[in-house]
Amino acid sequence: MTRAATLRVGGLGDHQLSAWPALAPVWAAIVGMSGGWRLLAAAALGAVGVLAMPPVHFVPALIPSLAGFLWLLQGVRGRWTLVATALAFGIGHFTAGLYWVAYALLTRPEEFGWLAPAAPVGLSLILAPFLIVPAAATRLARRGSIGEVIVFAAAWAFAEWLRSWVGTGFPWNLIGTVWTFSPPMLQISAVTGVYGLSLITVLAAAMPAVLGGPCLDRRRAWAAVGLMFALLASCGIGGAVRLAGAGDGDGATVEGVSLRLVQPNISQAIKWRADLVDRHLLDQAELGALDTGTAPTHVVWSEAAAPLLLADDAIRRAAVAERTPVDGLSLIGTLRRTGSADAPEIRNSLIAIDHTGAVVASYDKAHLVPFGEYMPLGRVLGLSGVVGLADLTAGPGVRTLSLPGLPPVSPLICYEVIFPGAVVDRWARPAWLLNITNDGWYGLSAGPYQHLAAAQMRAVEEGLPLVRVANTGISAVVDPYGRVLRSLALGTRGVLDTPLPMALAAAPPFARTGTIPILAIILALIPFGAYVIRRT
């Protein structure tokens, strides 16, 4: 090993050797950054990690992103510098990953177009503070050590769990979803949930950080990196074995059920125009009744497919009923009015209409989108409805619907599907998940792909098939192993006729226990990495 690889940085040891000499100059340059350069590098590294997310799925991008972030943290002196570095990384990461939220404002450019460039940054400012958790946790372990990586990965997974419920919760683009392109890698989520897969992924991607800086034991550093990649490989191999026993995905289906998914591809710019409501309603009804050679038993429309109070409108319901299968149902996303005449409540709902026009069941969205479907503190601040829509009222929570001719189902409207462990009623387990959404707000962007990836994760975690119906796509059928069996592409118009896959005979471990076991493991790894590894 050359003397060029022998480095000294305050607090990291006296002239200790790098495990990989070629990385030593890179490590030294990153650790030595200060001021604005450190913050710019942090933001850039955060953005690089987004390349691993759907739809790109370049998972190796996580290695420079997370290892580089650790190196930046190793060079930090002072708590506020650490906070600033973590925030910069988070702003780069979440702005790049959620750039598409600006598209929603561009659907009404005359009113909100000026806000569009600021929207992704504003959202990232809300999410970035969660990354202070793993950044601060690294101070519990010796800098540059294997223990530091373990603490960092565990604290990252813990921060993802926090992000799932603090405030209203926004568990979008959790690191584990980078693997949705690879069904074998997803299978571990049936045991650990997405948080466990995130933990394993961050461990593997960040562990190469130990190769660049001063190192007490080169063999141990390389062994740690090899062990983490072996852990990833074992997850993939175990997943492949599980899938081999499951067949190719064209297995058992629910007898007597033929679903038709309606994807009208109505532009968000015209979807809410009052003069086009009837045209759009009839167009979707006609798609539901289209002669494709397959007679559906149940027709499913997307979220807000009927952007009006359809349950209160007998004439329009009759138009839908005429095109609803006899002895079947049309499941339609619409608005629904509840409450009293003096205090009406409007809800984002799914209603089931039979061929007589009767509304036989309904579900009200419980997890509303802040600023989109309601204004936080709007009544207190006098800001209710500033986004152009009256505040919606949340439903009571997820529940299982029993519908004629269908197995029990858990309906999920829009981003309700992104919340791990919160998509079914544990006391009345459904046989499938139905996610209706309108991703037309986000155009032809990464957003719909990321949304579908979250839905795939829920299918694996719960051991349930998932049917997804989206206005502009991506409508899809996902089996209980997270595999997309069939789909309609983003930005296309059409219908998808499909059988309904069967649920797994036994609920997987995550569906039975929820997040508590994996959360306990995550929290236990923090003192393990900080103290146990240090002693050994």
CA-closest candidate to residue 101, choices 533, 381, 447, 528 = 447
Give the burial string for 327-366 (b: 16+ CB within 10 Å, else e). ebbbbbbbbbeeeeeeeeebbbbbbbbbbebebebbbbbb
CA-closest candidate to residue 228, choices 177, 286, 295, 153 = 153
Residue 8 token pair: 């000294």
Residue 110 token pair: 């005359």
Cα separation, 523 vs 199, whole angstroms: 11
Whether 84 contacts 152, CB under 8 Å = no
Whether 347 contacts 393, CB under 8 Å = yes
Rg (Cα) of the chain, in Å, rounded?
25
Give the burial string for 198-211 (b: 16+ CB within 10 Å, else e). bbbbbbbbbbbbbb
Known catalytic residues?
303, 365, 414
Cα separation, 476 vs 486, whole angstroms: 6
Cα separation, 220 vs 206, whole angstroms: 15
Cα separation, 105 vs 436, whole angstroms: 21
Beta strands in 323-374 (DSSP E): 329-339, 344-353, 359-364
DSSP secondary structure letter of residue 401? B
Whether 264 contacts 290, CB under 8 Å = no
Q: At what angle do helices 35-49 and 79-97 cross, to 10 degrees?
A: 40
CA-closest candidate to residue 152, choices 173, 131, 166 = 131
Whether 96 contacts 50, CB under 8 Å = yes
Per-residue 3-state assignment (H helix, E strand, C coil) for 214-249: EECCHHHHHHHHHHHHHHHHHHHHHHHHHHHCCCCC
Cα separation, 202 vs 189, whole angstroms: 15
Please give the angle made by the CA atoms of 9, 10 and 13, to the nearest 5 degrees: 75
Residue owning tokens 């998932």: 466
Residue owning tokens 């940054």: 121
DSSP secondary structure letter of residue 92? H
CB neighbourhood size of 96 (10 A): 20
Cα separation, 470 vs 340, whole angstroms: 32
Whether 450 contacts 418, CB under 8 Å = no
Cα separation, 209 vs 68, whole angstroms: 7
Strand pairing category for 344-353 and 359-364: antiparallel
Beta strands in 13-80 (DSSP E): 16-18
